[in-house]
Structure 1
Amino acid sequence: MNQPSTITVSITRTVKPGCEAAFERALHEFVQRSLVLPGQMGVHIMRPAPGSASREYGIIRKFANRDALTEFRTSPEYIEWNGLAMELTEGSGRVEELTGLESWFTLPGTPLRALPKWKMAIATFLGVFPVATILNLTISPAIRPWNFLVGNAVFNASVVALLTWVVMPVITRVLHSWLHSDEMKTSP
């Protein structure tokens, strides 16, 4: 049975020294072939910064639903790619399903990690409540006479902008050890 919600998967692989060019070629070829598979909604590749010592690649893939992800993982294209990637990288890589808000809860320079939804909900509430309260007290009186849709768009754009660039980065830093406490318990 098809599930309506999209699924985003984060894959992190560390390329073996000296295999970077071969990995890049193989990755490019695989992405081109795999995007025609059913249920593919896109892929984003994060490469190491030029001049850095990092050999870690991040691959974010989005699927239309769980069935599309399952079909992808059992496809000949993926099985062939996975075998080649194992030869060119250290270990099997890290694979995680993302729920969508991870970018708010991840410090810059660290990989995206799936977090418990209840923790993300609490942290989001701690950001949204004061922002919405302050904006209701400050800009709401000024935009109340405006057309409802325009005023609502300005209000909500203000909430999103403040959360994305001001409030959630602060909350992420302040709550980092609590948000990631499950990871810290399981890491070696």
Structure 2
Amino acid sequence: MTTTAQDAVAGHEQEEEVTLFVARRVEPGYEEAFELWAKEILAAAAAHEGNLGTGLLRPAGPDDPWHLLLHFRDGDAFRSWQASPARAACFEAADGHHHEVHRHEILGMEGWFATTRAGASKGRPPVRWKMAVASTIAIAPLTVTAGLLLTPHLAGLPVAVRPLVTAPLISGLMTYAALPVVTRLLRRWLFER
């Protein structure tokens, strides 16, 4: 998927979200300085137009790298961040005691799975058909519950307006509640090759 994602980011397919997943190895004794630097660059990225969120995952073990996650609205926002003076200033301020060991640019939903702790430890998202199964397991109960509990209260609204009420609710619950639980429960199956 890496090559396809990079080609799409570099090309004209700019409608999909882009998640940048970077692993950096930090020299022993410089972890605190790195964490401060990481928080600064992630704050700069979060303030950049088109950024949808950032994250920092500490290493699971002493020899493991740190992971920085940056999520962008589309390829244009991603490229704009890569060329930004704010990003360049952060790298100029880096102390040289950490270096990139892995970089992965991911499009669409694959970025969500790659940003989970299991995805970060594997350095890649699951295969697409497994993501589809996990997403279905997460969204099906939400859709049924919304249909049973919300539909009677929305009956007075025009049919075209009802999804504008239910979709954000289901999307939020999917992102912050259902999919994290499903991903955690299925992590071994999702990330095995």
TM-score (ref. length: structure 2): 0.58
| Residues 1:88 and 2:97 aligned together | yes
Alignment of 1:97-112 (within 5 A): 97-102=105-110, 105=113, 109-110=117-118, 112=120
Q: Secondary structure at the match of 1:60?
A: strand
Number of aligned residue pairs: give it.
170
SS at match of 1:17: coil
- CA drift of 1:26 comes to 7.4
C-alpha distance in 2, partners of 1:132/1:124?
Answer: 12
| 1:41–1:62 CA contact under 8 A, matched in 2 | yes
The counterpart of 1:181, out of the listed 184, 189, 192, is: 192
Tell me which stretches of 4 or more aligned residues in structure 1 moved more than 6 Å.
Answer: 24-31
The structure with the larger Rg is 1
Percent identity over paired residues: 22
Give 3-state SS (helix, strand or coil) of 2:20's partner.
strand
Q: Does 1:46 align with 2:56?
A: yes
CA contact (8 A) 2:114 2:125 kept: no
Check if 1:56 corresponds to 2:61.
no
Question: Is the contact made by 1:47 and 1:57 (CA closer than 8 Å) also made in structure 2?
Answer: yes
**Can you give the 5+ residue segments of structure 2 that lack an aligned partner in the other structure?**
1-10
Q: Give a deviation string over 1:61-109, Cα, whole Å, max 9, x none.
A: 648539x86xx69xxx98xx6xx88x522x6422122234356546865
The answer as to whether partners of 1:15 and 1:23 remain within 8 angstroms in 2 is yes
Deviates more, 1:101-110 or 1:143-152: 101-110
Match of 2:4 in 1: none
Instruction: Output aligned runs, 1:1-188, within 5 Å.
Output: 2-5=12-15, 6-20=17-31, 23=34, 42=51, 44=54, 46=56, 48=58, 56-60=66-70, 62=72, 65=75, 88-89=97-98, 92-102=100-110, 105=113, 109-110=117-118, 112=120, 113-148=124-159, 150-182=161-193
